[in-house]
Structure 1
Amino acid sequence: MSQQETVTKLLRNYQAGNKEAVNELFELLYRELYNIADGQRVKWQQNNTLNTTALLHETYIKLVDQSHKSWESRAHFVATASRAMRHILINYARDRNRLKRGGDWKKVTLGQLEFSDATNELLSGTRIETIVLLDEALSKLDVIYPRQSRIIECRIFGGLSIKETAAALGISPITVTRSWKTARLWLCRELDSGMKS
């Protein structure tokens, strides 16, 4: 049985009430999720206070504690895990900022942000504090265009490809591509105005 078939089987078992299936699913996808978590930490140049393993374990706890657990595919599960990682990193950044009262925050200019389909990394080379600005922008985008907000989450935080994002959100790859372009422009403008204030 291929990994994809095993994942599908575990998702079905979990939805049928087998609570152990989520443990098996997490174990099966552990390396992939670990790489995503590690990529997020590197992307945000975070110190070792919240290491990759801790981030991944907090993600597991957050996924298991969810009241609504209806994952339709591997991509959907990974997108959900990526979103959980985003929330954990945002909370961590806010807590750090509260502790330091903003003393260690540095402004990041728009020129420091990279928007590259080739590398599939929207915000490489920035500090973790920038994640708070991104979260605020994504919250605004979610109110106006929820689909574009989910696409940004999948692509930036999950590192999902266009096809994987389409599968996770149940839309066509061409819709993801169009929305990705529009959302990046909106996000760029929003981050630029947020950094100026």
Structure 2
Amino acid sequence: MDDTLHELLAAYRRGEPGVLDRLVPLVYDDLRRLARRHVGQWPNLTLDTTGVVHETYLKLVRQRALDANDRAHFMAICSQAMRQFIVSYARQKLTEKRGANPLIQDIHGLDIPVKGEAEELLLVDQALRGLADVDLRLVRVFECRFFGGLTEEETAEALGLSLRTVQREWMRARAWVKDMLSAP
């Protein structure tokens, strides 16, 4: 199975059409676990695991080709796509709550308690965007560990870094985000 996955990832890097449809079933359970970790961090956003996986798939389809070297690297890319979707979803919910799009709120008739959690997620995302200007690798480590729930070892494998580097970068990234969130 690893040979098949490796071959499919190579074909995906080349941009061969239809490869993603053969690749995703091989990692679908892993994608669901990853999505469950993301969704579990923000329960008030009322996202479901399957929806996050499907949105990730759609994002990958639109990209046509990715430079994923192995399963771990592919999962790190998927984790980043999931984060981007969840942040967009939180922005949309905040917009609806503030009345900028009352029609959608009236159609659904939902009063979802997302404000505090959505704002927190957007602040974390804003801190990460600021950190990306300083050190993109710190952002990738933070995404893998915080959003993806990957272990230090999995993060090291996914990003092609040593375990010690991941440990050091994780401490630096957490400190940066904490400082940004506590700043007035």
TM-score normalised per structure 1: 0.79
Aligned partner of 2:24 in structure 1 is: 26
More displaced, 91-100 or 13-22? 13-22
Cα pair 1:142 1:149 within 8 Å, conserved: yes
Q: 2:114, 2:10 → 1: CA distance?
A: 46
What corresponds to 2:110 in structure 1?
Answer: none
Aligned to 1:13: 11
C-alpha distance in 1, partners of 2:20/2:182? 40
CA-CA distance at 1:72 after TM superposition: 0.8
Tell me, which stretches of 5 or more residues in structure 2 are unaligned?
100-112
Report deviation, 1:67.
Answer: 4.8
- Distance change >3 Å, CA 46–CA 27, structure 1 → 2: farther
Q: Does 1:105 align with 2:102?
A: no
1:157 to 123, 147, 150: 147
Can you give the 5+ residue segments of structure 1 that lack an aligned partner in the other structure? 107-126
Indicate the residue corresponding to 1:89 in structure 2. 86
Q: Please, what is the CA RMSD of the aligned residues?
A: 2.0
Pairs within 5 Å for 1:178-193: 178-193=168-183
Q: 1:62 aligns with which of 59, 62, 71?
A: 59
Partner of 1:145: 135
* Between structures 1 and 2, the one with greater helix share: 2
Does the 8 Å contact 1:141/1:149 carry over to 2?
yes
TM-score (normalised: structure 2): 0.84
Identity of paired residues, percent? 39
- Native 8 Å contact 2:15 2:65 kept in 1: no
1:163 and 1:7 mapped to 2: Cα distance?
Answer: 21
Deviations 1:71-114 (A, max 9, x none): 111111101111111011101101110111189633xxxxxxxx
2:109 aligns with none
